[in-house]
A = this chain, B = another copy of it.
Amino acid sequence: MTPTNGRDEGAVTPTAADIADVVAYMRVCRKEVDDALERLLPATTSAPLLATEAMRYSLFAGGKRLRPTLTLAAADTISPSGALGARNLVFPAACAIEMIHTYSLIHDDLPSMDDDTLRRGRPTSHVVYGEGMAVLAGDALLTEAFRILAVYPETDDATLLARKLRVAARTALAAGAVGMVGGQVIDLDAAGQVPAQAGSHGAPLDADTLRAMHERKTGALIGAAAAAGAIMVGGTEAQIQAVDGYGSALGLGFQIVDDILDVEGGSDALGKTVGKDAAAGKPTYPSMFGLDESRRLARAAIEQAKAALEQGGLGGRLSGIADWVLARGH
């Protein structure tokens, strides 16, 4: 292997114009998602004002909206014509999954977890609202996400009813103990934050467990976000599986790139304190494999994501977003 700073010169490298095009697409999606979230969780509801404020504080904190963008992109990729109708079908799921992602950030930041006081440049939920309210704000967002999945789009059509239930089930599997919460359990356990008498693992993570942790913690929900788009627009089983596999691999690649950025700087791109994970003694891809090998692993994950897409005969916007994820790390 040539020392090419982690790049595999055999693959087609996207041009700066390609990346700019993806960035522009993602900017439009982000705006559309923000608007849809505003409609789904307005400032005044029949909930106590304080609850709504705490939910909105974290939901509208300037996130990239990667997950809902993938839901939209999956719909656009599978159903490029009639995209408007397709989008109306997928916005609720896109927004629900962003709510689940937001809840997970609120809970991850808690003093009893990662104890982060800053997120996307703003004080975290528990700093502003107190720890109890932060727990509740997360609980409320998670619950509201499933209400939205159950209610929208409103329909009597049996095919759409079945798709809604499938998306809810797929999302819950990805978000729960088998997926995202399970990954956080492994993380917490490896960080020594579970009492020994409770049957904690205690030992530091090895490479396989680090990968498994990220696949659960980040990959699973990103896979579900992409799959939700494919399911709602009526993708074939092959397309749904392709998009799901793409999302899971993309999520791993995204996490490795995050780890690289955490070492290299680029706090603007990352939106959190640089070097925090390393300072906390948490194992990361660079600390375990070094920067060059981490870059190679990120590229391998992205190639895997694109290969999964191609197996389903897909490419399009989803492929472009994969290129963008990798470009962040360079």
A residues with a Cβ closer than 8 A to B are 45-55, 103, 107, 110, 112-113, 128-136, 138-140, 142-144, 146-147, 149-151, 156, 158, 161-162, 164-166, 168-169, 172-173, 175-178, 181-182, 184-186, 188-189, 193-195, 197-201
Contacts and interface: CB of A to CB of B under 8 A. Distances in A.
A162 to B, nearest CB: 6
A168 B150 contact: yes
B172 A161 contact: no
A37 B140 CA distance: 24
A200 B53 CA distance: 11
Interface centre among A129, A143, A195, A201 (most CB of B within 10 A): A143
Contacts of A194: 50, 129-130, 132-133
B132 A135 contact: no
Contacts of A182: 47-48, 51, 140
Interface centre among A134, A158, A185 (most CB of B within 10 A): A185
A121 B128 CA distance: 35
Given A129-B194, A142-B143, A135 B107 contact: yes
Contacts of A132: 110, 112-113, 188, 193-194
16 contacts: A45-B178, A46-B178, A47-B178, A47-B182, A54-B198, A128-B195, A130-B193, A130-B195, A139-B176, A140-B181, A143-B177, A146-B168, A147-B168, A147-B173, A150-B165, A158-B158
Interface centre among A132, A166, A168 (most CB of B within 10 A): A132
Nearest to A49: B199
A152 B53 CA distance: 34
Contacts of A53: 198-199
